[in-house]
């Protein structure tokens, strides 16, 4: 697919350069600092921390999109039907992984409704954007992968997968309990969750899968010490704890 056919790349400034890849560590740094300072050091109430994290991530992504003139509608519009379908399939796979783990006391009523909206939908979407969609977009643009042959696209997808795991690792290192062998677990999740976007070349597919993971964790194991960080050991997820 050419840029003209796909509507992507005609005005996007300076994206087809190797130096464009420097946006990846920048994004990882933003996520890490938010997690480390506000989630780990200051130990803010979890929902307040999430608000700050959302602001930091969405602010950075907006800055990136405007600075590099990202044609967002064109990127989202490509193969969107396949993106939604594979996003749902990936989400089911991730949800089954959560359900295979232990459950914790559940939420109910208004607390459940709030957790579903805030920690499930909002947190899942923002996490999915910075961890899964953003690294892929940067690599795809830097290498001009959409305009190249299949072998080049496969190589770009492999590099994007590596970038996704890099950002996932850096971000989770911001939380004290993930500075341990447990760090491998979110990388397993991102390895699986990255597949829908890597296959469809659409940035909405993998964040959709990630929302499924968060929603399942909120319902099945709201006091989890694996998903929905930061974790407040000794407290319940409904009041203190919240990938």
User: How much is the pLDDT for 8?
Assistant: 55
Domain enclosing residue 176, as ranges: 16-220
Rounded CA separation 208/228 (Å): 16
Identify whether 227 is part of a domain.
no
Identify whether 139 is part of a domain.
yes
Closest CA to 101 of 219, 239, 6, 195: 219
Identify whether 82 is part of a domain.
yes
The answer on pLDDT for 240 being more than 90 is no
Identify whether 113 is part of a domain.
yes
Burial (Cβ within 10 Å: 0-12, 13-18, ≥19) of residue 98: buried
Q: What is the tally of structural domains in the chain? A: 1
User: How much is the pLDDT for 232?
Assistant: 83
Q: What is the pTM of this model?
A: 0.90
Identify whether 239 is part of a domain.
no
Question: What are 26-35's pLDDT values in tens digits?
Answer: 999 999 999 9
CA-to-CA dists, residue 117 to 47, 88, 161, angstroms = 11, 18, 29
pLDDT, mean of residues 59-85: 96
Average pLDDT of the residues of the chain: 91
Question: What are 92-126's pLDDT values in tens digits?
Answer: 999 999 999 999 999 999 999 999 999 999 999 99
Rounded CA separation 183/23 (Å): 23
User: How much is the pLDDT for 15?
Assistant: 72
The answer on pLDDT for 1 being more than 80 is no
The answer on pLDDT for 146 being more than 90 is no
Identify whether 80 is part of a domain.
yes
Identify whether 38 is part of a domain.
yes
Question: What are 4-23's pLDDT values in tens digits?
Answer: 344 455 546 557 788 999 99
For the chain, the first-to-last Cα distance in angstroms comes to 35
Closest CA to 69 of 135, 136, 2, 20: 20
Identify whether 228 is part of a domain.
no
Q: Choose the weakest-confidence range: 147-151, 175-179, 191-195, 234-238.
A: 234-238
């Amino acid at each position: 697919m050419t840029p003209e056919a796909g509507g992507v790349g005609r005005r996007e400034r300076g994206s087809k350069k190797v130096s464009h890849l420097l946006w990846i560590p920048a994004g990882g740094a933003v996520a890490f600092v938010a997690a480390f300072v506000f989630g780990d050091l200051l130990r803010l109430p979890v929902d307040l921390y999430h608000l700050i994290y959302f602001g930091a991530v969405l602010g950075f992504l907006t800055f990136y999109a405007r600075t590099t003139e990202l044609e967002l509608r064109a990127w989202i519009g490509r193969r969107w039907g396949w993106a939604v379908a594979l996003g749902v399939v990936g989400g089911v796979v991730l949800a089954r992984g959560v359900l295979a783990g232990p459950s914790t006391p559940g939420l109910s009523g208004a607390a459940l409704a709030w957790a579903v909206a805030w920690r499930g939908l909002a947190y899942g979407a923002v996490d999915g954007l910075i961890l899964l969609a953003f690294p892929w977009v940067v690599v795809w643009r830097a290498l001009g992968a959409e305009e190249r042959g299949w072998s080049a696209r496969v190589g770009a997808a492999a590099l994007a997968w590596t970038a996704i795991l890099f950002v996932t690792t850096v971000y989770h290192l911001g939380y004290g309990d993930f500075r341990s062998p447990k760090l491998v677990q979110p990388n397993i999740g991102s390895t699986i969750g990255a597949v829908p976007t890597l296959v469809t070349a659409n940035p909405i597919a993998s964040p959709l899968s990630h929302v499924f993971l968060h929603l399942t964790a909120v319902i099945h194991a709201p006091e989890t010490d694996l998903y929905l960080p930061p974790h407040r050991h000794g407290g319940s997820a409904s009041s203190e704890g919240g990938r």
